[in-house]
Structure 1
């Protein structure tokens, strides 16, 4: 599959006349709990030629799309964000983008852009938007999949992971790691709860279907308590933010010069 992905990335560069700066795996494979039939979610950041930016129409408007979507088949989905879109999202602490920067499954990286944007993260980080993102993800998935006596049991991971991410932000005041295992080991102490989660994780990695099964009370109780606690924690925060636009403008211009000489 890696060879197929590499080939598709080259085809995208040629088709759209762009340079890809960074390409990684996102989703359950990167999070560490893929199913046996999990698809490949490839995400990338790219940059156009200088003349694309030197026009009266801003990027993202009309024909100047700032996204490339190339769904290949049911197993492989590839999409990317144009660099200025990525930088605007970085300015807002967009969690999916920050997860891309932490993916352990790297397909491609060239030029200094990713190293440079990572070096700026501590200067633009503020927890509110990330906490709201992860909390809403947990609440929505919990409400949709884990109510009642019989539940979609594999969805526990899609509620637990954002809850653990919120705990990491609260504990370290930084972007959480992408790995579910790393979050679990750091946040939840040895306990019945941790044993239940590890057992569920082992089943999922072994290929069990994990479809409709009786709810796991110890995990449900933890989720309900944490959602309420995190909601209260977010309300207590008072955060001052700085505008990093000048730094990000400079990074964009420097990358444009580096890539296109």
Structure 2
């Protein structure tokens, strides 16, 4: 990992950061040699910009090549990120809890402790919808790429694991230690060895379709049996954290 370069990128951001982590293929356990680094985090706007008349940068997005490394950076303003946490948004949970940390603060750790109260049964809909989108991408042409297929299985297993345990795990290699699906090891090996757009070496569409449908059913069953609450209970604590960081 290009830790020095990524740390330098964190240091030159225009606003203070709460955290910056790595998401995408590196987090999911199957980066290709040409995969970009998906950096995700929270920035804090000063109060004078928030209360002024001019538009504020709720989201900063920047894609560039640095020292031959492709960087895709997205940070949300603190209030927007906390608002997303209170919705059934799995993306922000995975970014917050990513173990691939570029920059962190004590408030990052505080937020992680609070955000576990934002995990609900209704995150089922996020992971189901994400998987369906990736399946459409995989099947829309006769050219079958490894990447969207891995994304399909990754999000379904993350969703099942979340419904069963209440914990975020986005690394497909670690997830498969739990689920023991033998075909995933071959797919991951293909993705690790080749490009982002590499094609399946062996195409067994009927088999992959059956696995997709089976895991969808397992996700639905996990949702129906989940012990997780229906609604988040952290709004008050998130509000207090927002006020603390904004005003003091």
Which interval holds the TM-score relative to the shorter structure? Answer: 0.7 to 0.9
Indicate which of 236, 248, 251 corresponds to 2:238.
248
Residues 56, 75 of structure 1: alpha-carbon distance in 2 compared, 3 angstrom cutoff: closer
Residues 123, 235 of structure 1: alpha-carbon distance in 2 compared, 3 angstrom cutoff: closer
TM-score by length of 2: 0.84
C-alpha RMSD of matched pairs (Å): 2.7
What SS does structure 2 have at the residue aligned with 1:99? helix
Indicate which of 179, 183, 197 corresponds to 1:196.
183
Query: Who is 1:24 aligned against?
Result: 21
* CA distance in structure 2 between the partners assigned to 1:125 and 1:241 by the alignment: 8
Structure 1 residue 147 displacement after superposition: 6.9
How many residues are paired up?
241
CA shift digits 1:130-149 (9 cap, x unpaired): 21111111112223314788
Indicate which of 198, 214, 217 corresponds to 2:203.
214
Name which one, 1 or 2, has greater alpha-carbon Rg. 1
Structure 1 residue 35 displacement after superposition: 0.9
Q: Is the 8 A contact 2:36 2:71 kept in 1?
A: yes
Query: Who is 1:91 aligned against?
Result: 86
Moved more, 155-164 or 226-235: 226-235
Q: Is the 8 A contact 1:151 1:215 kept in 2?
A: no
* CA distance in structure 2 between the partners assigned to 1:77 and 1:118 by the alignment: 23
Residues 121, 7 of structure 1: alpha-carbon distance in 2 compared, 3 angstrom cutoff: closer
Show structure 2 runs of 5+ residues with no match. none
* CA distance in structure 1 between the partners assigned to 2:232 and 2:74 by the alignment: 30
* CA distance in structure 2 between the partners assigned to 1:166 and 1:242 by the alignment: 17
CA shift digits 1:109-140 (9 cap, x unpaired): 12x21111111123232121x21111111112
Paired residues for 1:90-239 under 5 Å: 90-110=85-105, 112-128=106-122, 130-146=123-139, 151-172=144-165, 174-186=166-178, 188-189=179-180, 194-207=181-194, 210-212=198-200, 213-215=202-204, 217-231=206-220, 234=223, 239=229
What SS does structure 1 have at the residue aligned with 2:240? helix
Q: Is the 8 A contact 2:79 2:242 kept in 1?
A: yes
